[in-house]
Amino acid sequence: MFADVALPVPLDQAFTYRLPETLWHRVAEGSRLVVPFGSRKLTGVIVRVHEQPPEAEARDALNLLDELPVLDPALIELGRWIASYYCAPIGEVLKSMLPLAGEMRSGKVYCLTPRGREIARQYFLVSDEADAATQILRLLEPKELSASYITRKVPGAARILKSLESKGLVSAEDNVAQRDPLRASAERLRVEFVRRDESAKLKKSERELLSFLELHPGSHNLAETATIVKGASESARALARKELVSLVLESPLAYSSTSEIPKKLNDAQQAAFDALAASVRQQQFQTFLLHGVTGSGKTEVYMRAIEATLAMGRSALLLVPEIALTPQVAGHFYRRFGDQVAILHSAFHDAERAEQWRRVRSGAATVVVGTRSGVFAPVQKLGLIVVDEEHDGSYKQHETPRYHGRDVAIMRARAVGATVVLGSATPSLESRFNAQKGKYQLLELPDRVQQRPMPTVELVDMREEFLQTRKQQTFSGRLIEAITQKLEIGEQVMLLHNRRGYSSFVACRACGERLECVNCAVTLTFHRGDRRMLCHYCGFSRRPPSVCPKCNSEHIQFLGTGSEKVEDELHQHFPKARIARLDRDTVTGKRQFETILQSFREHRYDILVGTQMIAKGHDIPNVTLVGVVAADIGLGVPDFRAAERTFQLLTQVAGRAGRGDLSGHVLMQTLNPDHYAVRLAAAQDYHGFYARELQFRQSMRYPPFSALANVLIRHQKQEEALRMSAELGHLLTPPPEKIKVMGPAEAPVPRLLDEFRYQLLLKANSRTNLHETVSRLRSHALQNRWSPTSLVIDVDPISLL
């Protein structure tokens, strides 16, 4: 017997292997099989079992990982659609659909040896410019990382890792082995006393912890324990190895939440709910767009629709943006639906994810909440899929396969006759257009719940501010005044500044040189907290220079304000205010995000400063003032979605104001008060924006008036990248029927991660023609044996950068 196996390699075909007799009765389509591939061992998914010997000699399969298939036939079919639509190899698609995509990564997890650690530290002291090997050692300093992650961060890492390993500086471990709880962070662990062993040799801190736990029976959160017993986090792990204490992962059930369930839907909510419930009942595929202003109670409509779905004996899948899946949100669902809920989140530990996934497949969990990849959860008897904040960019995967979770959700629902609801206060142009054409059915919630008013919005023209004060100020007089007033009456303020770091670039006043990343054509951002210049694309960092690296001048200037500086200046203006900051530098894990938000919710801070992270869906009743420091950030980006994204962000952040009994006010500082995205966001006029933006898209033939594919060519050698892009350009001259080709041209970021980048943008009138064309480009690359990472095809790109 033979099995055709889809392997995670950049080729379109499946590979045939001979099955040893021991597997004959156990193999099934959709199960994972470990097979030899060249000199490597790879794990793939069986797509066919048969008895036809292939033409060439087939190698023997090694072992079977699953007794029950991990992908059912419908999901494999969905995978085939994704492979074809997004022009991605089937093996890589199926791999990314698996519950433990991490586990599948061929390859290893690396960590520093003690010697490696020593060297990483020394290099850190003496060298600013990092070569690839040093970069890897530094990446590994805080934590162990998978080979695939390191390779993404540091080009050519695979070879270097091998040499570092042979020098004894790093050690590798196979990733396939289940990772144990001993490695989880303290916040995620519960610790409990097991026994005493007088013969065991214990350190003082270990003895202390053991005594504490013995005196306090029951299980304790390890992070909390560590605040009482010094060094508990390390001691607990050492004690667990000796089996004197138990360490287990904390169940998400422990998360609690307090908000109550509204008793009665308002008329608009009721009408939306009725339409959804009727559709689920009919078991016919249909897509709805639920367009409800911020605070209109969309979540409550989802909840009721899910309840109705369960009452009909079917299951529901809810997708939310990555940042929105907080323990708080999870808590809502647990309280409402009890142990029928499964939460799928990439931040969860492997073992925990596997457990949630098993509950979904067995049918024990009928309400599944997940982020983008949750769309592949093996939900049984699927009746309803909700895609919350459907306009959110995190639904699009930024690596192969570059699928859009929302669109995959629709395809999945179509195959099984399920209902789809796409919800947003600022629907994407595409979705709103589909509703206009009648492809989706539009449901509207035009008002906030309980007749709460929309916030009032005021634009502050920073050009006038400059004329009056003759100074470049971060805050206008108006904003300072408004914040002062709110602080006096004990209400809370949120301030959006959508740019990380302290200063966004460093320039020399003498020669004009700007400090760029060594790997990317990108300026480095100064982060004051850890005193370094950081590349936001590749993570490269160095010390800030004291003299210009080009002309040795001492006149180094730090320019461009980031959120760190905004926070800093706020402290100066309001020395007594309690201020917190929420951005990728203050939040490195899920828990921190929730901790900061929760403290703000409990009014342990007066002002919350942050990047777009603060704009998403939080419901904090005491926030009555929202300030936008620079509404124009993002408008200058060379991307046709720049206006749409700016409008969405400003509308969403404005929607954080006045969500409780107190009414809200919004101040937006801008240098472009007449730009339609800013003006219409201030007017909270979605329909006006939609009409205006649609015109622009139509005149430029951008989506939804065309289908786009972005074709990126990248290579470490510029000549190679140029040659390849010219070849593709040649293939497309004259342009294929119904397709407009732009480029090849230098990409907006021409050098990234030490690779030169060129791009071609294809605008097509017909999807079929687009598909044929990108397939042709891909075959060309395969035939000419281009390295698989050299050609990136992004169908329906959400960003052209």
Contact flag: residue 517 with Zn ion (CB under 5 A)? yes
Contact flag: residue 278 with Zn ion (CB under 5 A)? no
Q: Using CB under 6 A, which residues numbered 253 to 282 contact ligand ADP?
A: 259, 262, 264-266, 269
- Runs of H (alpha helix) within 556-712: 563-573, 590-601, 642-654, 676-682, 686-700
Rounded to 5°, the CA angle 60-63-69 comes to 115
> How near is the Cβ of 117 to Zn ion at its closest, in Å?
24
> How near is the Cβ of 396 to ligand ADP at its closest, in Å?
22
> How near is the Cβ of 263 to ligand ADP at its closest, in Å?
7
Contact flag: residue 648 with ligand ADP (CB under 6 A)? no
Q: Which of 43, 219, 225, 299 binds ligand ADP (CB under 6 A)?
A: 299
Contact flag: residue 13 with ligand ADP (CB under 6 A)? no
Contact status, residue 443 vs residue 272, Cβ threshold 8 Å: yes
SS (H, E, C) 263-305: CCCCHHHHHHHHHHHHHHHHCCCEEEEEEECCCCCHHHHHHHH
At position 649, the amino acid (one-letter code) is L
633's tokens:
């950030």
Please, what's the b/e burial string for 487-507 (b: 16 or more CB within 10 A of its CB; e: otherwise)?
beeebbbbbbbbbbbbbbbbb
Q: Which of 135, 294, 541, 669 binds ligand ADP (CB under 6 A)?
A: 294
> How near is the Cβ of 306 to ligand ADP at its closest, in Å?
13
Contact status, residue 545 vs residue 588, Cβ threshold 8 Å: no
Q: For residue 256, which of 186, 173, 192, 329 has the smallest C-alpha distance?
A: 329
> How near is the Cβ of 510 to Zn ion at its closest, in Å?
5
**Residue 341 or 633 having the CB closest to ligand ADP:** 341
Q: For residue 220, which of 198, 201, 255, 247 has the smallest C-alpha distance?
A: 247
**Residue 296 or 710 having the CB closest to ligand ADP:** 296
Say how far apart CA 641 and CA 800 lie, in whole Å. Answer: 9
Q: Using CB under 6 A, which residues numbered 591 to 610 contact ligand ADP?
A: none
Say how far apart CA 82 and CA 69 lie, in whole Å. Answer: 20
**695 vs 33, 419, 563, 692, 700, CA distance in Å?**
52, 31, 34, 5, 9
**Residue 99 or 297 having the CB closest to ligand ADP:** 297
Contact mark string toward ligand ADP, 395..434, x via CB under 6 A = ----------------------------------------
Residues facing residue 290 across a β-bridge: 423, 443
Q: Which of 8, 107, 252, 297 binds ligand ADP (CB under 6 A)?
A: 297
Contact flag: residue 152 with Zn ion (CB under 5 A)? no
Say how far apart CA 267 and CA 292 lie, in whole Å. Answer: 13
- 148: which DSSP letter? H
Interacting partner of 265 out of ligand ADP, Zn ion, none (Cβ under 5 to 8 A depending on kind)? ligand ADP
Q: Which stretch binds ligand ADP (CB under 6 A): 37-45, 215-223, 290-298, 735-743?
A: 290-298
Q: What are phi and psi of 670, to 5 degrees?
A: -150, 155
Q: Which stretch binds ligand ADP (CB under 6 A): 211-219, 237-245, 294-302, 703-711?
A: 294-302
Say how far apart CA 271 and CA 359 lie, in whole Å. Answer: 33
**Residue 707 or 753 having the CB closest to Zn ion:** 753
Contact flag: residue 374 with ligand ADP (CB under 6 A)? no
Interacting partner of 535 out of ligand ADP, Zn ion, none (Cβ under 5 to 8 A depending on kind)? Zn ion
Contact flag: residue 550 with Zn ion (CB under 5 A)? yes
Say how far apart CA 430 and CA 391 lie, in whole Å. Answer: 9
**Residue 540 or 756 having the CB closest to Zn ion:** 540
Q: Using CB under 6 A, which residues numbered 433 to 452 contact ligand ADP?
A: 449-450
Q: Using CB under 5 A, which residues numbered 477 to 516 contact Zn ion?
A: 508, 510-511, 513
Say how far apart CA 707 and CA 801 lie, in whole Å. Answer: 17
**Residue 656 or 763 having the CB closest to ligand ADP:** 656
Contact flag: residue 455 with ligand ADP (CB under 6 A)? no
**Residue 450 or 469 having the CB closest to ligand ADP:** 450
Q: Which stretch binds ligand ADP (CB under 6 A): 71-79, 128-136, 289-297, 625-633?
A: 289-297
Say how far apart CA 436 and CA 423 lie, in whole Å. Answer: 15
* Residue ranges that bind ligand ADP, judged by CB under 6 A: 259, 262, 264-266, 269, 292, 294-300, 449-450, 619
Residues of this chain that bind Zn ion (CB under 5 A): 508, 510-511, 513, 517, 519-520, 535, 537-538, 540, 548, 550-551, 553
